[in-house]
């Protein structure tokens, strides 16, 4: 049986606001396998990016891992020494950030930003690192890569900047890539190109990808497995086809009702063509998470048990489970 290259178990992340300590992530568990893509979906504020930052050891000030495990291969990242974490980050595990214009250094050329990673992690000379940078730009299909090596970020289009970010992440051929909303602010054509590029690169390198997004269409295109997040918890997990065809959690059903049928394919259980649903209300803010089911205040199926007793995972298929008392009910919202 294939072993996960990245395994997150019961992860708890807390933030100290100065007046109180709040849980941002509460018992998150995920598995990521070589050559596979895990789609992590949910509204803004659900904990998707915080999971990525915790995994990378890049939590902001006042945030800390308060419990759980993050294993990369045989190494426990929650207890590894800072120097070792720096060796792993960018080499064995890399991240593509949401906005390349704020993630790339505006004062360094494309060549320098890619070559620096290779020199630091692989001990290559400047000449060798330049060749790897050039090869990587070719791999991400940047036009005229020799010319782009000398370019600065502001001289590139949004799509090319995103490709440079992918090139930096791929330069050392990592085993895991975390892509946090990698096509934000890009037009639909460029989005399709970026996703196609990631698929091709994955096929050639057997890299595992964690794709963080709010777009179920992207998940349908890219993912093998899906984890749906809500209010700091992973509330439904399973194979992408199972979740898109038979969503078990009312929140997942709500997300799908907000997604046009065209993006997910005819097989997906969605509203009739021409209609879109909505999920009333908002994700609760930190410190105001409901004590029992966190989705209960917005859920049309909520009953007394949902508001008084925290739900346990319910198996709804061989590899699919949902954190909901009503998970097995064939009622769609």
The CA-atom distances, in angstroms, between 223 and each of 38, 124, 179, 213, 242 are 5, 34, 12, 11, 12
pLDDT (0 to 100) of residue 269:
46
Per-residue pLDDT tens over the stretch 21-73: 999 999 999 999 999 999 999 998 899 999 999 999 999 999 999 999 999 99
- Answer yes or no: are the C-beta atoms of 77 and 70 closer than 8 Å: yes
φ, ψ of residue 262 to 5 degrees: the values are -55, -35
Q: 62: helix, coil or strand?
A: coil
User: What pTM was estimated for this model as a whole?
Assistant: 0.90
Closest CA to 259 of 242, 246, 243, 278: 278
Placement of tokens 């970026």 in the chain: 194
As a whole number of Å, the end-to-end CA separation of the chain is 37
Which one-letter DSSP state was computed for residue 297? G
Domains of the chain are 6-92+174-323 (3.40.50.300), 93-173 (no CATH)
Per-residue pLDDT tens over the stretch 156-206: 988 899 889 989 998 998 999 999 988 876 778 878 888 888 888 888 888
Q: Which long-range contacts (CB under 8 A, 24 or more apart) does 330-333 make?
A: 331/301, 332/247, 332/253, 332/257, 332/269, 333/250, 333/253, 333/254, 333/257, 333/277, 333/300, 333/301
């Amino acid at each position: 049986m294939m072993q996960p290259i990245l395994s997150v178990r019961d992860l708890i992340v807390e933030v100290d606001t100065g007046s109180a300590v709040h849980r941002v992530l509460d018992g998150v568990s995920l598995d990521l396998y070589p050559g596979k893509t895990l789609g992590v979906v949910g509204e803004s504020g659900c904990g998707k990016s915080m999971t990525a930052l915790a995994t990378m050891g890049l939590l902001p000030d006042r945030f800390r891992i308060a419990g759980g495990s993050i294993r990369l291969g045989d190494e426990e990242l929650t207890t590894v020494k800072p120097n070792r974490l720096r060796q792993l980050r960018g080499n064995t595990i890399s991240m593509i950030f949401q906005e390349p214009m704020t993630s790339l250094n505006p004062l360094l050329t494309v060549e320098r930003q890619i070559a620096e990673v290779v020199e630091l992690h692989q001990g290559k000379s400047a000449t060798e690192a330049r060749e790897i940078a050039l090869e990587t730009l070719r791999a991400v299909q940047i036009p005229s890569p020799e010319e782009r090596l000398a370019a600065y970020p502001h001289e590139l289009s949004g799509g090319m900047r995103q490709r440079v970010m992918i090139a930096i992440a791929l330069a050392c051929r990592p085993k895991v890539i975390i892509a946090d909303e990698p096509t934000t602010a890009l037009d639909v054509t460029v989005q399709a190109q970026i996703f196609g590029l990631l698929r091709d690169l994955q096929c050639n390198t057997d890299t595992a990808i964690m794709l963080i997004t709010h777009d179920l269409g992207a998940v349908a295109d890219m993912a093998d497995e899906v984890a749906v997040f809500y209010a700091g918890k992973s509330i439904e997990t399973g194979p992408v086809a199972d979740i898109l065809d038979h969503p078990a959690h009312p929140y997942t059903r709500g997300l799908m009702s907000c997604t046009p049928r065209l993006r997910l394919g005819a097989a997906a259980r969605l509203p009739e063509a021409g209609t879109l649903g909505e999920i009333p209300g908002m994700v609760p803010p930190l410190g105001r998470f409901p004590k029992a089911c966190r989705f209960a205040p917005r859920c049309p199926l909520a009953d007394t048990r949902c508001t008084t007793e925290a739900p346990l995972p319910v198996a709804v298929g061989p590899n699919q489970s949902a954190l909901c008392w009503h998970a097995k009910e064939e009622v769609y919202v």
